[in-house]
């Protein structure tokens, strides 16, 4: 059992909420501080593989998610122009049997709301933008933009790619623009009924230098979603996305299969997101501060595992802190890094290369992983 001290998590993204929930369930006293005044249901979907559903089981939200989400039987990869199948990766019942949990796709706003229900009421504070942090040696002082302060025994930086805590540990450095963008759009399922075409549950359309990932975000198949990956010259990027258009989608994917043309025709609103990156960080923690998720190892999203890695990080960090107790956080942080770095770096490299599941391959190394069952490597042998 931990010493009942206070853990602060900065950022209520998918990684921060998982950390908050799992640490609370392990008996720790946790507050999550989020800069946004409230959550918005932004127009985006997300894949959650069996490796993550096993974590959601511990958080008590696996069934809730299964009830809402779409359950694809396959991940199909298809040639964007001819429609030929490049791979058929079995999911559905196969995933449950081989990897120990379901594979689902869902709206990320719905997922975040569901995660919130697994935290103690009142333990997520909104409108708290961290502006500075001071490790006094005996605790950490957090200062927020609204002038308030908080103290914590340890601080978990789950504050995303522009992490203030990463900056505190390693200095100011903007992320790198990868040279790629992602277009995103949600389509009402009813709009697809007028076509004599088959809209598959989970399909990635590929050509030489671009792709379009498409899937349902609900079990009822009333919301379809696409996200592209397209090379794009840099522009003056302010904010996390800009508006795009049907016209831009036509210019980019006009040579693709008729199914893709139908999706473009049904796109009422399209946004365009720069895909940002960072080189692997030399340290993941210092003193009483530790990083997870995009704050620590951001990646291009082409493997659909970025949030998954943040959630696995949260689970492993909880496991290590439970093992050592909060007062020996230094050992816990070293154990955590020793048990996460190799896997997160491998996923980061494969995701950045955008090769995952393009051809028939066995994804067991990703989906079969169970962060709670994996033997714990000692920090010394890592």
For binding to ligand FAD (CB under 6 A), which residues are involved? 10-16, 33-36, 46-47, 128-130, 158-160, 164, 182, 227, 273, 293-295, 301, 304-308, 310
Q: How far is the CB of 357 from ligand FAD (least distance, A)?
A: 13
Q: From the candidates 215, 224, 226, 336, which is the catalytic residue?
A: 215
Mark residue 107 as left, alpha or beta (left: phi above 0; alpha: psi -120 to 50; beta: remaining).
beta
- 41: Cα separation from own chain's centroid: 15
Q: Of 78 and 128, which CB lies nearer to ligand FAD in the complex structure?
A: 128
Compare residues 122 and 375 and give the one whose CB is closer to ligand FAD: 122
Contact 45, 104 (CB under 8 A): no
3-class secondary structure, 64? helix
Tokens 């796709």 correspond to what residue? 105
Q: How far is the CB of 35 from ligand FAD (least distance, A)?
A: 4
Nearest approach, Cβ of 231 to ligand FAD (angstroms)? 15
**Residue 131 or 382 with smaller CB distance to ligand FAD:** 131
Structure tokens at 300: 């291009």
Minimum Å gap between C-beta 267 and ligand FAD is 15
Which among 269, 294, 380 is positioned nearest to 331, based on CA atoms? 380
215 among known catalytic residues: yes
Residue with smaller CB distance to ligand FAD, 11 or 50: 11
Please answer whether residues 339 and 316 qualify as being in contact, where contact means their C-beta atoms are separated by less than 8 angstroms. yes
Least distance between ligand FAD and beta carbon 285 (Å):
15
Report d(CA 70, CA 203) in Å as an integer.
13
Query: For residues 8 and 266, which CB has a smaller minimum distance to ligand FAD in the complex?
Result: 8
Closer to ligand FAD at the Cβ: 125 or 324?
Answer: 125
Query: Which of these is catalytic: 33, 47, 107, 216?
Result: 47
Least separation in angstroms between residue 286's CB and ligand FAD is 18
Q: Where are the alpha helices (DSSP H) in 204-267?
A: 246-253, 258-265
| Strand ranges in the chain using DSSP code E only, listed in sequence order | 6-10, 29-33, 45-48, 74-79, 85-90, 104-107, 124-125, 130-135, 140-144, 149-152, 154-157, 176-188, 202-206, 211-216, 223-231, 242-243, 271-277, 285-286, 289-291
Indicate if 183 belongs to the active site: no
Asked whether the beta carbons of 297 and 352 are under 8 A apart, the reply is no
Q: Which residues are catalytic?
A: 47, 215
């Amino acid at each position: 059992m931990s010493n009942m001290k206070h853990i602060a998590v900065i950022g209520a993204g998918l990684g921060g909420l998982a950390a908050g929930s799992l640490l609370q369930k392990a008996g720790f006293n946790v507050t999550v501080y989020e800069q946004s005044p409230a959550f918005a249901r932004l127009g985006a979907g997300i894949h959650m593989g069996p490796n993550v559903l096993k974590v959601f089981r511990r958080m008590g939200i696996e069934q809730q998610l299964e009830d809402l989400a779409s359950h694809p039987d396959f991940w199909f990869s298809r040639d964007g122009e001819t429609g030929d199948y490049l791979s058929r990766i079995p999911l559905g019942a196969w995933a449950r049997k081989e990897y120990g949990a379901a594979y689902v796709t869902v709206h990320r706003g719905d997922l975040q709301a569901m995660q919130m229900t697994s935290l103690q009421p009142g333990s997520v504070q909104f409108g708290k933008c961290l502006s500075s942090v001071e490790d006094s040696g005996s605790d950490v002082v957090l200062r927020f933009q609204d002038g308030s302060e908080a103290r914590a025994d340890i601080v978990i930086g789950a504050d995303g790619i522009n992490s203030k805590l990463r900056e505190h540990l390693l200095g100011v450095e903007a992320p790198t623009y990868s040279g790629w963008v992602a277009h995103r759009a949600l389509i009402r399922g009813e709009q697809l009924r007028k076509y004599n075409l088959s809209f598959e549950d989970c399909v990635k359309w590929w050509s030489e230098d671009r792709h379009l990932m498409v899937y349902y975000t609900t079990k009822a198949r009333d919301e379809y979603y696409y996200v592209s990956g397209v090379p794009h010259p840099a522009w003056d990027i302010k904010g996390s996305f800009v508006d795009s258009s049907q016209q831009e989608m036509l210019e980019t994917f006009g040579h693709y299969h008729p199914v893709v043309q139908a999706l473009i025709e049904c796109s009422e609103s399209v946004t365009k997101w720069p895909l940002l990156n960072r080189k692997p960080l030399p340290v993941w923690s210092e003193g009483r501060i530790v990083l997870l998720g995009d704050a620590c190892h951001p990646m291009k999203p082409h493997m659909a595992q970025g949030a998954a890695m943040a959630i696995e990080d949260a689970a492993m960090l909880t496991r290590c802190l439970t093992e050592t107790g909060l007062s020996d956080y230094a050992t816990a942080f070293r154990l955590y890094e020793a048990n996460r770095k190799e896997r997160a770096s491998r996923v980061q490299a494969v995701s950045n290369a955008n090769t995952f599941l393009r051809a028939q391959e066995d994804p067991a190394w990703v989906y079969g992983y169970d962060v709670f069952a994996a033997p714990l490597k000692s920090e010394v042998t890592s």
